[in-house]
Amino acid sequence: MNVVVTPAMLAQVIVSGILAGGLYAMVALGLGLIFGVMRVINIAHGPLLMLGAYTTYFLTTRAGINPFLTVPVAMAALFLVGVLLQRGLVFRVVDAPELSSLLLTFGISIALVNLAQLAFTSDLRAVEYITGAWVIGGLAVSKPRMIAFLFAAGVTAVSFVLLQRTRLGKAIRATSQSREVAMVCGVDVARIHMLTFGFASALAAAGGALLAVIVAIQPEMGGVWTFKSFLVIVLGGAGNYPGALLGGLLLGLVEQIASLFLTSQLSEVVAYVLLVLVLLVRPTGLLGGRQT
């Protein structure tokens, strides 16, 4: 009801917002990469995240591996899944009208969720690893969320170095900017598409693996992440990779601050109103999207 917001409370939710934003940025970067390179909106991004979370769950509970050490394993496993999906299905719709790719990835998404229900059942699962918070100058910093944030920041940083510095990264960016020119310059575009899809799936898997210690795992957990990632890349500028970073942090902060001053229910409204405003004022996103 009527709670007076103090600066300390505001500082507390800003901390939480940044921690959440780091995860948003990393997961959305994957969705943004696929969109940039293939012009495909991957609705199955969230379900791939869910598979990453299950990978961590099983490795942690069955093999007793530290959940944070399973992050690279989940990434590698989902990289393969992504490559197979791209090679088997998604490549067919790369040049097709947008509706085809939406339908296809929507179908993949439904298939993955239902397969997960069959294989893992709908029972809720969770990884209990670390709880509590570090208290720094009156601010509580959640231990699991902080560690997840640091991992996400690390993975995102490595991804940026990969994209900016390596030959492969340059090829990915070139393909994203102009497929024809990249092809003329000797880039194997089909291979880039495949690797990008795999890499994006690995980013989703990293998100799932990190979420495993924070939230309950169930086959339908991914859906909301598809939407949040989509929101992030549109906010930041679709196809513009640093935009995902900005969009992710912005979404995390807006959600938390709106929850503080208004209500949790309205925080989603605020996030989507922000999206509409950005689309009205800067249709290409805050950092500008890729020109078609």
Query: Binding to another protein (CB under 8 A): which residues in 171-190?
Result: none
With CB under 8 A as the rule, give the number of residues binding another protein. 43
Nearer to another protein, 36 or 222 (CB): 222
Distance of CA 13 to the CA centre of its chain: 21
Minimum CB separation from another protein for residue 13, in Å? 5
Taking CB under 8 A as the rule, does residue 62 contact another protein? no
Residue whose pair of structure tokens reads 């969770």 in the numeric block: 126
d(CA 236, CA 148): 22
The correct pick among 1, 63, 99, 276 for binding another protein (CB under 8 A) is 1
The two most distant CA atoms of the chain are separated, in Å, by 64
Buried b (16+ CB within 10 A) or exposed e, 157-178: eebeeebeeeebbebbbbbbee
Taking CB under 8 A as the rule, does residue 4 contact another protein? yes
Query: Binding to another protein (CB under 8 A): which residues in 126-145?
Result: 126, 128, 131-133, 135, 140, 142-145
Q: What angle do CA 131, 136, 138 make, to 5 degrees?
A: 100
Query: Binding to another protein (CB under 8 A): which residues in 197-216?
Result: 211, 214-216
The correct pick among 147, 255, 289, 290 for binding another protein (CB under 8 A) is 255
Burial of 106 (0-12, 13-18, 19+ CB in 10 A): middle
Residue whose pair of structure tokens reads 């100058």 in the numeric block: 137
Taking CB under 8 A as the rule, does residue 122 contact another protein? yes
User: How many CB atoms lie under 10 A from the CB of residue 52?
Assistant: 33
Nearest to 123 by CA among 223, 53, 219, 208: 219
Nearer to another protein, 125 or 173 (CB): 125
Nearer to another protein, 79 or 225 (CB): 225
Whether residue 43 contacts residue 111, with contact meaning beta carbons closer than 8 Å, is answered with no
Locate 219 and state its tokens: 């086959």
Q: Which span sits near another protein by CB under 8 A: 28-36, 70-78, 189-197, 251-259? A: 251-259
Burial of 258 (0-12, 13-18, 19+ CB in 10 A): buried
Nearer to another protein, 80 or 216 (CB): 216
Taking CB under 8 A as the rule, does residue 259 contact another protein? yes
Nearer to another protein, 17 or 289 (CB): 17
Nearer to another protein, 142 or 176 (CB): 142
Minimum CB separation from another protein for residue 251, in Å? 11
Element (H, E) at 142: strand 139-142
Minimum CB separation from another protein for residue 127, in Å? 8
Taking CB under 8 A as the rule, does residue 6 contact another protein? yes
Nearer to another protein, 176 or 259 (CB): 259
First to last CA, the chain: 48
Report the amino acid identity of residue 284: T
Contact footprint for another protein (CB under 8 A): 1, 3-6, 9, 12-13, 15-17, 20, 122-126, 128, 131-133, 135, 140, 142-145, 211, 214-216, 218, 224, 255-257, 259-260, 263-265, 267-268
